Amino acid sequence: MLRVGLTGGIGAGKSTVAARLAEHGAMVIDADRIAREVVEPGTEGLTELVAEFGEDILTPDGALDRQALAAKAFRDEGSRLRLNAIMHPRIGRRTLELMNQAAPDAVVVHDVPLLVEGGMATNYHLVLIVDADEDVRVKRLVEARGMAEDDARARIAAQATREQRQAVADVWLDNSGTSEEVLGQVDALWRERLVPFEENVRLRRRRPPQPPVISPPDETWPAQAERALARIRAAAGARLVRADHIGSTSVPGLPAKDVLDLQVTVPTLADADALADPLSDAGFVRAEGHWFDQPQDGAPADALWDKRFHFGADPGRPVNLHVRAAEGPAWRLALLFRDWLRANPDEAAAYADIKDRLARAHAHDASVLNYAEEKQVWVDAGFKRAEAWAQNTGWTP
């Protein structure tokens, strides 16, 4: 099952996106609908709201008068917290019930207005943000909902900012234009990303090897890495020592393959094995086989250099996840190499040059091994220079 979080500001048009995903076969769970269901007449939720806020929050026919409730529940922080204590557990339980009813191969889309404000992004394999220019949103709210323009702008201002949404967005759907334009984006997203992503997670299918192609530096790589690391931290839980963005995409200004290298450090490889299923379920599929790092300084090729390796299952965001034991030396070397390149622009430029030359030389190889092996020669020599830099500067991970 693939869990997708869907959100967007008022008037952005996320309902249009949700409806289209449902047409494609997604199971859409509407948080607003659940919030209404758990306080319908006859429910324990409504009974508890009345006990807390009084009979005058009811309409003459015994239903919840939402405006009357809002007038009481949002007058101060204490009242708001009491409302949340009644509503949130019930909404959460009902949401979990519906998710548990989903088929193993389902794409579950959770339509949540306050996903960003509630810090819920790590609950999903992917977060979709629907956005539109503010003037477009205001026009829709005035024409379709009959709001006054000042009220519409106030409602927009009270929600998460565009920057806050961008920070958690794996997919940004611009709905400033026609409905046909955004629906075309949704159709491509379903076909090219959501369906294969679900299959990759369920079938534990790894990403096929790709020829080395060096891309110009992308200033969004660190933000993309942080979104993935947040999911990894949530999946790893207490076994995690640390989780880091490593490799070329972690060095500002350095050209690189458009693949995020991430590192999870755990106490032992037994902990790494215990995380095989949690990380795979979270969208980082465990690779079979014996994975290890190149021993340095004549060290024996023993278990201290062994690691576990996972591939990101999202076809729209390639990830290599290295899971290394704190009892071994390789996790430290990965961090040292990154920080050394960040602090030494000449070394970073030399590394960029060797990668570009090797990538062009091996662009048509059937395997990426030749590229990786030849690059490792420079990296091994770089480790020695990095160790000298660490001694001179007092660097520690």
- Binding positions are 11-16
CA dihedral 135, 139, 140, 142 (to 10 degrees): 130
Q: Which residues contact 375 (CB under 8 A, 6 or more apart)?
A: 354, 355, 358
**Helices 149-157 & 134-145, crossing angle to 10 degrees?**
130
Calculate the alpha carbon distances from 344 to 78, 255, 385 in Å.
53, 15, 11
CA angle 386, 387, 388 (to 5 degrees): 90
CB 214 within 8 A of CB 309: no
**Strands (DSSP E) along 101-169, which ranges?**
107-111, 126-131
Cα atoms in the Cβ-side hemisphere of radius 13 Å centred on 317: 27
List binding-site positions for ATP.
11-16
Cβ atoms within 10 Å, residue 93: 12
**Cβ–Cβ contacts within 10 Å for residue 53, how many?**
19
Joined together, the tokens standing for residue 324 give 């290394």
Neighbouring residues of 268: CB distance < 8 A, sequence distance ≥ 6: 325, 326, 327
List, in sequence order, every residue forming a beta bridge with 69; answer none if it has no partner. Answer: none
**Which residue type does 329 have?**
P
Instruction: Please report, for residues 50, 139, 299, 366, the alpha-carbon distance to residue 371 in angstroms, rounded to integers and kept in the order given.
Output: 68, 54, 23, 11
**Residue owning tokens 């000298």:** 388
* Three-class HEC string of 234-301: HHHHHHCCEEEEECHHHCCCCCEECCEEEEEEECCHHHHHHCHHHHHHCCEEECCCCEECCCCCCCCC
E strands in 84-233: 107-111, 126-131, 171-174, 214-215
Task: In whole angstroms, give the CA distance from residue 187 to residue 195.
Answer: 11
